Amino acid sequence: MKPARFDYVAVASTDEALDALADEAKVLAGGQSLVPLLNMRLARPSLLVDVNRVPGLDRVELDEAVRIGALARQADVLASPAAAAVPLLAAALRHVGHPATRSRGTIGGSLAHADPAAELPAILLALDGEVVARSRTGERKIAAEAFFTGPFTTALRADELLTDVVLPRPDSRPFGFAELSRRHGDFALAGAIVLLRPARLVLFGLGGAPERAPVAERALDEGAPAAEVAEAATRDLSPVDDVHADGAYRRRIAAVLVRRAIQEARSRG
């Protein structure tokens, strides 16, 4: 199929991008998610705002935090000092798509797309990260817990441009990352992220957005066995049914993945 008719503008600055944004506009960065949606006519914007020529949007900076420009390619971040500073980010990025898609896909694009089965939204939540959004009225920071509002839905307004992703640094906590997909690089049928001391447990691929499991986190902080933590994390889950797997299957594999992630985290220290 071919996309529905739209206008196109390639902007050279953030200000130009903000001038162009409107209710029916879409931002084009890596295009790895947007272009297929256009071709299938699941997205029908009146205007594409191409930000690939905006200088500085692809920067990666390390100081008291890791600051990643929204246009930074996933492959470039994986090869950058940011990956060494935040090992969990590096572990997750290796599961994002394939080398060819990571060479074009952007960090900000994946977060703004907000696929419930994607790794990067779950990482942002697990690490207490935040995004920076700019509009003509100013700049605001949005914590991960407030950013993802549902499947493929975020707190970004139509007049806002996601410009930066901020992760705390350093984060040397022992971690575990586990997911199940039909093939390496496919979106996850289910996934689990575990951090220790203090505990953080995030599940993804199961519903509308990545979510924490606070009861399981308390059990993890108390040193409960992995099986007990996994049961607490999945007890009240009602995962989605779709063509790839039913909810009951997702719930069972989520418990297995939580156990694996805990075992990996504890093996790291």
pLDDT tens figures, 117-131: 999 999 999 999 999
226 shares its domain with 202:
yes
Per the domain annotation, does 106 fall within a domain? yes
* Helix, strand or coil, per DSSP, at residue 156: coil
Measured distance CA(158)–CA(21) in Å, rounded = 7
pLDDT tens figures, 224-264: 999 999 999 999 999 989 888 999 999 999 999 999 999 99
Per the domain annotation, does 194 fall within a domain? yes
**31: CATH:** 3.30.43.10
Instruction: Give the pLDDT score at 185.
Output: 79
Per the domain annotation, does 32 fall within a domain? yes
Confidence of residue 202 (pLDDT cuts 50, 70, 90): very high
Confidence of residue 23 (pLDDT cuts 50, 70, 90): confident
119 shares its domain with 24:
no
pLDDT tens figures, 53-99: 999 999 999 988 999 999 999 999 999 999 999 999 999 999 999 99
What the block records as the tokens of 156 is: 């970004």
Instruction: Give the pLDDT score at 99.
Output: 92
Compute the average pLDDT of residues 38-51.
93
> pTM of the full predicted structure?
0.94
pLDDT higher than threshold 80 for residue 44? yes
Look at residues 77, 126, 119 and name the one whose alpha carbon lies nearest to residue 102. 77
Q: Which structural domain range is residue 248 located in?
A: 175-267
Give me the number of domains the chain comprises: 3
190 shares its domain with 152:
no
Amino acid letter, 37: L
Compute the average pLDDT of residues 184-193.
90
**206: CATH:** 3.30.390.50
Q: Are 177 and 268 in contact (CB under 8 A)?
A: no
Compute the average pLDDT of residues 123-141.
97
Instruction: Find the helix or strand (DSSP H, E) in which 119 lies.
Output: helix 119-126
| Residue 122 CB contacts under 8 Å (≥ 6 apart), including other chains | 92, 191, 193, 202, 203, 204, 210
Average pLDDT, the chain: 94
pLDDT higher than threshold 90 for residue 215? yes
Strand partners, 133: 140, 162
